[in-house]
Amino acid sequence: MPRQRWTLADVPDQRGRVAVVTGGNTGIGFETAKVLAARGASVVLAVRDMDRGKRAAAEIAVTPGADVTVQHLDLASLASVRAAADELRATRDRIDLLINNAGIMYAPRKTTADGFEMQFGTNHLGHFALTGLLLDRMLRIPGSRVVTVSSAGHRQGGPIDFDDINWNTREYSRVAAYGNSKLANLMFTYELQRRLSGTGETVAVAAHPGGSDTGGSRTSVARQPLYFRALFALVRPLLIQPAEMGALPSLRAATDPTVQGGQYLGPDGFQESRGHPKVVESSARSYDMAAQRRLWTISEELTGVTFSV
């Protein structure tokens, strides 16, 4: 009997639900937000660039009945994260889906407004803080989920040097730093799920898009040496899929009623680069419970955000 594949047709009715999608103005986040809005969810695009966010919202709004708004959010600034959370809490008495999607990839060495290494600060710490500040809007909501988007690149990260999170004493590697941030996304998900167990309705799930044709992925390739770009051009058709397909793991993680807390979803094809979403395994390093707990403690200390679970 052929294997049944999960597709857009399997996304259930989302009417009455509120979904906050970080980075919802482009790429995977945009495709995720567009589908959720088309299924009836009230969607908030939480974005750094408000002009691009408004253009994305207008594009989504052409779908009849679509309810989409834009919220400013700069994950590289804890002040911005707190301001966004305050505004969302003031305007929304419930959040059903928090999709931690936004991120940067293979960026050169920079620091956030708070002095954190940019990739770790944006991809992990910003989302950690946002989740903690919004979680009480989710805990009493049946079927609510925190979906955090990681990457197959998490396997290029770790072990995380907790004594040098910001790469102050080591030669900076943008590939390893990105890998660390995506590894942190998974470790955060697993530890959050453990803390959520038995406390209410909310679960934590992770997903990764595989190789997807997005602006971020094109920029990351453009930053690589010429030999890499030449080789990648040859294998690209085998590894890259449209952004619409790359959004399927996030959509399944957010909406499939059979998905369980603590699961990780990615494409079912070769090297998890392409295909339809299924439950996949992350690296052995990501399941290190002691490292998960240490990451959690350090994240609380760095962000000043503590969770109610």
Size (the chain), residues = 309
Helix, strand or coil for residue 215? Answer: helix
Q: What DSSP line would sit under 164-213, residue for residue?
A: -TT-SSS---HHHHHHHHHHHHHHHHHHHHHHHTTTSS-EEEEE---SEE
Residue 96's alpha-carbon distances to 102, 143, 252, 269, in angstroms, are 18, 7, 14, 30
Active site residue 190: no
Residue 23's alpha-carbon distances to 3, 4, 149, in angstroms, are 32, 30, 11
Q: Are 20 and 44 spatial neighbours (Cβ–Cβ below 8 Å)?
A: yes
Closest CA to 24 of 63, 50, 62: 50
Closest CA to 209 of 260, 175, 180, 243: 243
Catalytic residue among 178, 227, 264, 287: 178
DSSP letter (8 states) at residue 156: G
Q: Which two tokens stand for residue 299?
A: 């994240």
Active site residues: 178
